[in-house]
């Protein structure tokens, strides 16, 4: 157990009276107890860890997670590699995925007989140290970096989520990227089937783990093919028991998930950049509606639902790392192309193109290329103010925005500037930025945005803001321009963005720009990230939801296609597993079977 919470400053970092002298210092959720080891199935307790250091990962320095930006859903990582230090591979993999979640981090490892989970609030480098990682020995692991899209930022809600399978048949540890849309329905089913007490957290992810661990008569593999078709919404999952690593994506493949190969094992990760950092070669993406199982018998694949790809286009705009590739298209190249197209769609006379660092940089380079106007750096990011999103009040948030960027006055003074940013959410950042540039001597400030106006909330794992908070939901472009105080404002068109991504429109989700949600949204899905906490506080409350989905347009329970297990080129399935694999989809247990269980 940690003897001091990761978020607490070391004595050297504390100001007078032991209070942090950094006005933007990390602040954990009030009342959250310091923790470390959370789940140790059949295993000895791990040695505790002590204080955390003040290391600030690059992702935090990038300013991701600042108050006025979209909050990434989460990052997931899994590795199956006997003989390798899987905890350190997971640690470095999570480092590469830090930008996807900066509230909590965790790793589960198994040595083929015990699963141990270590997790805590904080950044990856704050949660883990050398001695902790040395204690996490095993042959397979899953890891998670969290930004909360369902449930509060508390220790209990950190992942991997962990359960012992009922009947003592082993355990399951799970990491989830995305957001379910039928959480309320599943929560009621769990409660009605006497499994409510198994829930240890208030997240849709914990709900999935509870369902997977519910049936003592099923292996995790068998349970998975019964549970996965019951889930609606967005989920890229990594999960494991003592012996097998699993990876799966929802039938729409909203969130990314890729498979990589190590010399002596396999890796799955949210982004290809995480494969690169551990030296894994990219094999392919996990397909929408597919589940992979990786263990000593090789790798097996099956589909639990027919794929209907609807990848998140915002991954290209902001969420993914620039050095990641999604559906064969490099994210950096996409962003540069967006800038080029933006220059042609929305030209303006100016002296200099500058980015809002760092997320606006590739599009600014593209805008400069497309317009012929010189590119330059006019703003410097304060390297140590990257986590202002955890400050609770709007007043402090606005201070944080002002503190995180510093103008290069010599560059700016007397210039007509084009400022390129990735997106506008509330508009606070751009408003403060335009004011700061004018105060620094800019003659004109023209704002160009590398995405269309964000007018609709995301229910699939990205926490933008409520619709009322989205500045573009209530104002047209001219209204937003006036609101932020720019001389001109222009956004890339949706057509331009899609063309830059080189993806077919039909395979993309664009709902936050269009309001056209590709996955039906029951009323409950609109209740927000604290849905389960609200239900706990008021258990009798019945959200206005048609469970059948008929009224909401939800097609109802999934009919699992009688598809054959899919053999993929390059994936190995030993002959002796062929029979087992053929039966993989034939063992579809129903959730009803789980409900028929006697309570212990």
Q: Which residues bind ligand SF4 (CB under 6 A)?
A: 254, 312-314, 458, 460, 462, 509-512
Q: Smaller CB distance to ligand SF4: residue 80 or 460?
A: 460
Q: Smaller CB distance to ligand SF4: residue 327 or 382?
A: 327
Q: Smaller CB distance to ligand SF4: residue 135 or 510?
A: 510
Q: Smaller CB distance to ligand SF4: residue 32 or 503?
A: 503
CA distance 461 to 486: 31
CB 203 within 8 A of CB 156: no
Nearest partner of 294 among 255, 262, 256, 252, judged by Cα: 262
CB 242 within 8 A of CB 228: no
Nearest partner of 127 among 151, 147, 103, judged by Cα: 103
Return the HEC string of 222-258: HHHHHHHHHCCECCEEEEECCCCEEEEECCCCCCCCE
First to last CA, the chain: 30
- In whole angstroms, the minimum distance from the beta carbon of 207 to ligand SF4 comes to 20
DSSP secondary structure letter of residue 233: B
CB 155 within 8 A of CB 33: yes
CA distance 340 to 345: 9
3-class secondary structure, 168: coil
Q: Smaller CB distance to ligand SF4: residue 193 or 423?
A: 423
Q: Smaller CB distance to ligand SF4: residue 135 or 501?
A: 501
Q: Is the peptide bond before 141 cis (omega within 30 degrees of 0)?
A: no
CB 488 within 8 A of CB 481: yes
CA distance 585 to 581: 8
- In whole angstroms, the minimum distance from the beta carbon of 234 to ligand SF4 comes to 7
CA distance 408 to 561: 59
CA distance 586 to 599: 27
- In whole angstroms, the minimum distance from the beta carbon of 462 to ligand SF4 comes to 4
How wide is the angle at C-alpha 557 spanned by C-alphas 554 and 559, nearest 5°?
115
- In whole angstroms, the minimum distance from the beta carbon of 142 to ligand SF4 comes to 23
CB 300 within 8 A of CB 577: yes
- In whole angstroms, the minimum distance from the beta carbon of 460 to ligand SF4 comes to 4
Q: Which of 74, 153, 312, 458 is catalytic?
A: 74
- In whole angstroms, the minimum distance from the beta carbon of 522 to ligand SF4 comes to 16
Catalytic residue flag (residue 74): yes
- In whole angstroms, the minimum distance from the beta carbon of 212 to ligand SF4 comes to 24
- In whole angstroms, the minimum distance from the beta carbon of 457 to ligand SF4 comes to 8
CA distance 567 to 573: 8
CA distance 562 to 554: 21
How wide is the angle at C-alpha 58 spanned by C-alphas 358 and 342, nearest 5°?
20
CA distance 74 to 145: 6
What is the Rg, in whole angstroms, of the alpha carbon atoms belonging to the chain?
24
Q: Smaller CB distance to ligand SF4: residue 343 or 462?
A: 462
Q: Which residue has the tokens 């993999």?
A: 93
The token pair at 72 is 């990434």
Q: Smaller CB distance to ligand SF4: residue 414 or 515?
A: 515
- So which residues are the catalytic ones? 74
């Amino acid at each position: 157990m940690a003897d001091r919470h990761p978020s607490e400053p070391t004595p050297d970092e504390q100001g007078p009276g032991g209070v942090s002298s950094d006005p933007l210092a990390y602040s954990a959720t009030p009342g959250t107890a310091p923790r470390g080891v959370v789940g140790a199935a059949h295993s000895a307790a791990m040695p505790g860890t002590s204080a955390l250091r003040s290391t600030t990962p690059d992702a935090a320095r990038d300013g991701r997670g600042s108050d006025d930006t979209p909050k990434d859903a989460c990052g997931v990582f899994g590795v199956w590699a006997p003989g390798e230090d899987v905890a350190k591979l997971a640690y470095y993999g999570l480092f590469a995925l830090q930008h996807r979640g900066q509230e909590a981090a965790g790793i589960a490892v198994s040595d083929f007989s015990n699963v141990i989970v270590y997790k805590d609030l904080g950044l990856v480098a704050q949660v883990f140290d050398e001695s902790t990682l040395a204690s996490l020995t095993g042959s397979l692991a899953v890891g998670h970096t969290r930004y909360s899209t369902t449930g509060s930022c508390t220790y209990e809600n950190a992942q991997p989520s962990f359960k012992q399978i009922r009947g003592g048949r082993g355990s399951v540890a799970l990491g989830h990227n995305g957001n379910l849309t039928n959480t309320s329905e599943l929560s009621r089913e769990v409660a009605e089937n006497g499994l409510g007490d198994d829930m240890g957290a208030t997240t849709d992810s914990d709900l999935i783990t509870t369902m997977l661990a519910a049936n003592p008569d099923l292996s995790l593999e068998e349970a998975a093919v019964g549970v996965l078709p019951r889930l609606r919404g967005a989920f890229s999952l990594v999960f494991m028991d003592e012996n097998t690593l699993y990876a799966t994506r929802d039938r729409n493949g909203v969130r990314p998930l890729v498979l990589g190969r190590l010399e002596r094992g396999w890796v799955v990760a949210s982004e290809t950049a995480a494969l690169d950092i551990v030296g894994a070669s990219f094999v392919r993406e996990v397909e929408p509606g597919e589940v992979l199982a990786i263990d000593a018998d090789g790798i097996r694949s099956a589909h639990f639902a027919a794929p209907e790809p609807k990848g998140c286009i915002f991954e290209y705009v902001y969420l993914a790392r620039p050095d990641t590739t999604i559906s064969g298209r490099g994210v950096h190249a996409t962003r540069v192309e967006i800038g080029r197209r933006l220059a042609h769609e929305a030209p303006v006379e100016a002296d200099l193109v500058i980015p809002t660092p760092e997320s606006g940089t590739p599009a600014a380079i593209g805008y400069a290329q497309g317009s012929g106007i010189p590119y330059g750096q006019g703003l410097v990011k304060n390297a140590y103010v990257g986590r202002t999103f955890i400050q609770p009040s709007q007043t402090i948030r606005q201070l944080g925005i002002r503190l995180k960027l510093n103008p290069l006055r010599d560059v700016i003074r007397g210039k007509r500037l084009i400022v390129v940013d990735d997106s506008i959410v509330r508009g606070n950042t751009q408003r403060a930025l335009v004011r700061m540039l004018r105060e620094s001597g800019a003659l004109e400030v023209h704002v160009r945005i590398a995405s269309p106006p964000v007018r609709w909330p995301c229910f699939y794992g990205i926490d933008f803001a409520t619709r009322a908070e989205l500045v573009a939901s209530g104002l047209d472009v001219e209204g937003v321009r006036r609101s932020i105080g720019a001389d001109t404002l222009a956004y890339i068109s949706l057509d331009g963005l899609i063309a830059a991504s080189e993806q077919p429109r039909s395979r993309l989700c664009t709902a936050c720009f269009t309001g056209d949600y590709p996955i039906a949204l029951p009323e409950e899905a609109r209740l927000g990230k604290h849905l389960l906490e609200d239900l706990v506080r008021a258990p009798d409350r019945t959200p206005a939801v048609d469970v059948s989905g008929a009224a909401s347009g939800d097609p109802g329970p999934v009919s699992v296609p009688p598809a054959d297990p899919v053999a993929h080129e390059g994936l190995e399935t030993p002959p002796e597993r062929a029979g087992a694999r053929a039966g993989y989809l034939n063992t579809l247990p129903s959730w009803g079977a789980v409900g028929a269980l006697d309570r212990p």
